[in-house]
Structure 1
Amino acid sequence: MAESIRREFIYLWYYFDIQFRQIFFYWALGIFIGSVVSVFLKKQIHSRMASLQDKKIRLWGILPASALGILSPLCMYGTIPIVASFSKSGMREDWIAAFMMSSILLNPQLLFYSFALGTEIAVLRLLVSFLGGCIAGIFVYLFFRKRNFYEFTEFELPENRDRDSNLFLRLLKNIWRNVKITFPYFLLGVLLTALYQRYIPSQWVSGLFGSNRGLGALMATALGVPLYTCGGGTIPLISAWLGEGMSKGSAMAFMIAGPATKLTNLGAVKIVLGARNFMMYLVFSVLMATVFGLVINLFF
């Protein structure tokens, strides 16, 4: 009995160690880049978004708005007061929708972390997140010209915690804060991946997410809704799935549906949407994930 337990522990440690060493560099790089953006560029990014109101670019404004949403390092609870201030100053709701949607789907930290899945997957994730923001902006433009999509009330701008006069210390504090938040999820993701690799047959993944690519994208979307908790916890698992036959489209569907329907993001989005618009957001997110997954499976 003891020998059997010891043998299982050795197997699990073997899988855990491999995943940890393969993924850790990208997680650390994402933490560093995300903190640099948060400390030194956050204010400029949001100022650039606010300055769009001075330009007469109409619907085309969703393009820079979606790009700036990806660059924004704030979580959704930090983003809402920012976009509420944009709305109060008269910014178009289609631009706000593009900014918020792309911000939900991706941020600088998660982008660099995604390179653990390969350059092609990371670039596809960047492109899909940008297009997702643009599509959300177009949706609001087409169907909410005569009525409001968002219901912003009075929100206070989030407190800036990067206030140390020493820039180096400011950066270190931000890095440490991000490590404390994401490292437990990273370890949990690696552990779950090790358990999966030890006890789940690889044929299960290839059959569910690989052989039938249409069904695979749909199933990945369905799994992304309840399983996605944090990007730091899902990258190791997706990496293992891709290695065992998961299609790129299925992986992308999971990575779109996951953050779009993550409980913390849903709680924040529900604050600014009524019940009807909130349901529309959920349907939109699930359909977008599935369609993007199917399209990617067709061409990649």
Structure 2
Amino acid sequence: MWQIALREGLNTILTYLDPLHLLLGIVPAFLISGAIAALLDRESILRFFGPGANKWIAISIASIAGAILAVCSCSILPMFTSMYKVGAGIGPASSFLYSGPAINTAAIFISAAMLGKIGWVRSFSAIVLAFMIGVVMDLFFGKAQIREMKEKGMKTSSSSASIPWKGLLVIFMLVAVYMVGSNIYKGILMVAALVIGYLLFDKEQRINWYRESWSLFKLIFPILIAGVFVASALKVFVPGSVIVKLFGAENFVSNIFSSLIGALLYFSTLTEVPITRSLIEMGMSSGSAIAFLLAGPALSLPSMILINRIMGLKRGMTYIILVILFSALAGSVYELIF
């Protein structure tokens, strides 16, 4: 059993370290996060997403931002880290952290194609959950964040900042890497973003961009590799019969178990859809499937470790509990309605 688990973990790491996956899937995420920190004016972040900005507008925008991305929970972390580091409010930052992996265009249509009604409900529920998580996180920690920033002499809002179009152009081109299917187009877009960034920004700004990207890479990537290995190896110790027994009943307890297991395991982008379909065929209830789909892409063992490291234990664990609890509640609501 241990040998199989070791083999599974190593195989997943080898897949994760595939050169194309690294170059076109991981590197753009860190370049985006570095660009947010170095190429966007901090005043602009504060104007639209800062703790002092209109939280309803900021959280609403952040809740649907994931629709333009197709990234896993690990790839969204460097982007979230940069937003949070620059001064984004904890409410919109948390909504963005959830919506990135949970609500992307590819997931919406592939879920609908493979899972039917469950797929559509998953997509709608993810937007609602992203908004709810942002609101609750702001309610719990928003005032404390503003107080902490003021104690450090940091501004919490800005109404006069101009739109940083040059930085946004580079970031948009890097985001577009996740929106196209062909690896050739992905490569062209990434090279074009680097070239345009080189032309639009001076030497100091470019060095800051690369330095921020590398700093986040060193902070996050080693933990990701270790976490991916552990989460993949754990799958070997969870027999299919146990999964069906735990997740087959249509009740809240079953949904909580499903949400929790989904949160612990690591899923590459969209792999949760065929996995969920197989589990449904094995006897998983529809509510548990919803909970699994909502919690699985948004969390993983490595991402939970990093979230706590970035946000602090109290705020990080609150976010994790909210994702697991709200996902289970969404599954129960689905069972009541359908």
- TM range, smaller chain: 0.5 to 0.7
Residues 89-144 of structure 1, C-alpha deviations (whole Å, 9 max, x = no match): 65433122211121142333333332343332222111121112111111122111
Matches within 5 A, 1:1-300: 52=48, 57-76=54-73, 78-87=75-84, 90-148=87-145, 170-171=184-185, 173=187, 205=244, 208-300=246-338
Q: Is the 8 A contact 1:104 1:265 kept in 2?
A: no
Unaligned runs of 5+ in 2: 1-20, 150-169, 190-231
Q: Tell me how far apart the structure 1 counterparts of residues 246 and 67 of structure 2 sit (CA, whole Å).
A: 31
Cα displacement (A) at 1:73: 3.4
Cα displacement (A) at 1:65: 1.3
Identity %: 23
Q: Tell me how far apart the structure 1 counterparts of residues 74 and 249 of structure 2 sit (CA, whole Å).
A: 39
Cα separation, partners in 2 of 1:268 and 1:69, compared to 1, 3 Å: farther
Unaligned runs of 5+ in 1: 1-30, 176-188
Q: Is the 8 A contact 1:76 1:104 kept in 2?
A: yes
Cα displacement (A) at 1:251: 0.1
Q: Tell me how far apart the structure 2 counterparts of residues 76 and 225 of structure 1 sit (CA, whole Å).
A: 10
Q: Is the 8 A contact 2:252 2:329 kept in 1?
A: no
Q: Is the 8 A contact 1:221 1:254 kept in 2?
A: yes
Cα displacement (A) at 1:298: 0.9
Cα displacement (A) at 1:162: 8.2
Residues 231-290 of structure 1, C-alpha deviations (whole Å, 9 max, x = no match): 544432321232354322110111223233312322442342112222222222221222
Q: Tell me how far apart the structure 2 counterparts of residues 86 and 200 of structure 1 sit (CA, whole Å).
A: 39
Q: Is the 8 A contact 1:76 1:268 kept in 2?
A: no
CA RMSD for the aligned pairs? 4.6
Cα separation, partners in 2 of 1:105 and 1:139, compared to 1, 3 Å: same
Residues 123-174 of structure 1, C-alpha deviations (whole Å, 9 max, x = no match): 211112111211111112211132229x99xxxx9995989xxxx8741648
Q: Tell me how far apart the structure 2 counterparts of residues 204 and 84 of structure 1 sit (CA, whole Å).
A: 34
Cα separation, partners in 2 of 1:240 and 1:58, compared to 1, 3 Å: closer
Aligned residues between the structures? 232
Q: Tell me how far apart the structure 2 counterparts of residues 250 and 80 of structure 1 sit (CA, whole Å).
A: 26
Matched residue type, 2:58: G
Structure 1 length as normaliser, TM-score? 0.59
Q: Is the 8 A contact 1:217 1:249 kept in 2?
A: yes
Residues 20-45 of structure 1, C-alpha deviations (whole Å, 9 max, x = no match): xxxxxxxxxxx9xx99xx9xxx99xx
Q: Tell me how far apart the structure 1 counterparts of residues 74 and 109 of structure 2 sit (CA, whole Å).
A: 22
SS at match of 2:145: coil
- Report what 1:19 is aligned to: none
Matched residue type, 1:249: G
Q: Tell me how far apart the structure 1 counterparts of residues 300 and 69 of structure 2 sit (CA, whole Å).
A: 18
Cα separation, partners in 2 of 1:62 and 1:169, compared to 1, 3 Å: closer
Q: Is the 8 A contact 1:116 1:239 kept in 2?
A: no
Q: Is the 8 A contact 1:260 1:266 kept in 2?
A: no
Matched residue type, 2:328: T
